[in-house]
Amino acid sequence: MLSGSNVLFLDEPTNHLDIPSCEALEEALNEYGGTMLIVTHDRYLANRIADRIIIMDGDGVREFEGDWDAYKEFLAESAAPTEKEEPVVKNAYVLAKEHKSAVNRCKGALDRAEKKVKEEEAKLGELEARVCAPEIASDYEAAKSLYEALETQRRLVEACYAEWERAESELQSLLAEEEE
């Protein structure tokens, strides 16, 4: 999860984990900003992480928007006789969970972007400090190489700021939706 991937495949990730480890895994997965495909029998994890359930059983493969509890609720409602079939609409709980998940992913992206800005600014500061060194002033090739590295680092810092601003803007947009 630290390498910047955007797809994560997990097969029974909570098997053999104690409760604190399961909670730490759940927190890390909630902060993960990419797509996850998790195969699990752990209904608690499915309830806390999933926003879409894919059921594979004797009836085939079915997809359901929502977590495990919403799926079970849907099954109970669909088993009860109804006068008229109504389209499946996401309930408020599912929408709130999806929104919270999006906000958490956005906060994680914002934290990562802020950390990246600090790291890259520190590298830029180191390069700027080296420019003043006497050995650089007397060596044209070293100075040229250092100034090229300095320019590359400045562009990288600008790109990091742009990513940070994008993540901040996205988070503000989600938080504004929350207030409506």
Q: What is the pLDDT of residues 112-168, one digit of tens each?
A: 999 999 999 999 999 998 888 888 888 889 889 999 999 999 999 999 999 999 999
Question: What predicted TM-score, i.e. pTM, was given to this entire model?
Answer: 0.47
Provide CATH 3.40.50.300 ranges for the chain: 7-89
Residue 76: predicted pLDDT: 79
Quickly list DSSP for 124-171.
Answer: HHHHHHHHT-HHHHT-HHHHHHHHHHHHHHHHHHHHHHHHHHHHHHHH
Q: How confident is the model at residue 5 (pLDDT cuts 50, 70, 90)?
A: low
Residue 145: predicted pLDDT: 92
Provide CATH 1.10.287 ranges for the chain: 93-179
Residue with tokens 């594979």: 56
Whether the predicted pLDDT of 4 surpasses 70: no
In terms of pLDDT, which residue wins out, 104 or 80? Answer: 104
Please, what sign has the CA dihedral across residues 17, 18, 20, 23? positive
Q: What is the pLDDT of residues 48-88, one digit of tens each?
A: 777 778 877 777 777 777 777 777 777 777 776 655 555 65
Token pair recorded at residue 159: 């790109």
Helices (H) and strands (E) in the chain, counts: 6, 4
CATH level 2 (architecture), domain 93-179: Orthogonal Bundle (1.10)
In the CATH hierarchy, which top-level class contains the domain 7-89? alpha beta
